Amino acid sequence: MLTIYGIKNCDTMQKAMKWLDAKKVKYHFHDYKESGIDKATIENWLKHLPLDKVVNLRSTTFKELPDTDKAAISDKTKAIKLMMTHNSIIKRPVWDFGNGQFFLGWDEKELSKLV
């Protein structure tokens, strides 16, 4: 089953869920602001998605981090810890199609090929 990860209040997440509902696609939504995100999930994402894309360098949360934390994203282990602590720095949505296929962000044309 499709799982999308993100934050409920995010405009992009709301757009994605509305799109899925309109297409009558069954999915599970994991709100990592409410439920958190674990190391194993992030490690799985990083097997399929580049670290520098999973971390949203343009997010307000990332911009407000101390320089030492910003520098930590170049180290995978430190970046995972940072994403677990400050999950708002994770690009949204993360799409897990449940079959080893992942997609990051919102691109209706590309997602139409996958859903």
pLDDT tens digits for the chain (115 residues)? 999 999 999 999 999 999 999 999 999 999 999 999 999 999 999 999 999 999 998 888 899 999 999 998 889 999 999 999 999 999 999 999 999 999 999 999 999 999 8
Topology adopted by domain 2-114? Glutaredoxin (3.40.30)
User: Annotated catalytic sites, by residue?
Assistant: 10
Residue 55: closest CA among 37, 29, 28: 37
**Could you tell me the pTM of the whole model?**
0.91
Tokens matching residue 43: 């490690």
Half-sphere exposure of 114 (CA within 13 A, CB side): 20
**Residue extents of the structural domains in the chain:** 2-114
Q: Cα(46)–Cα(102) distance, rounded to whole angstroms?
A: 10
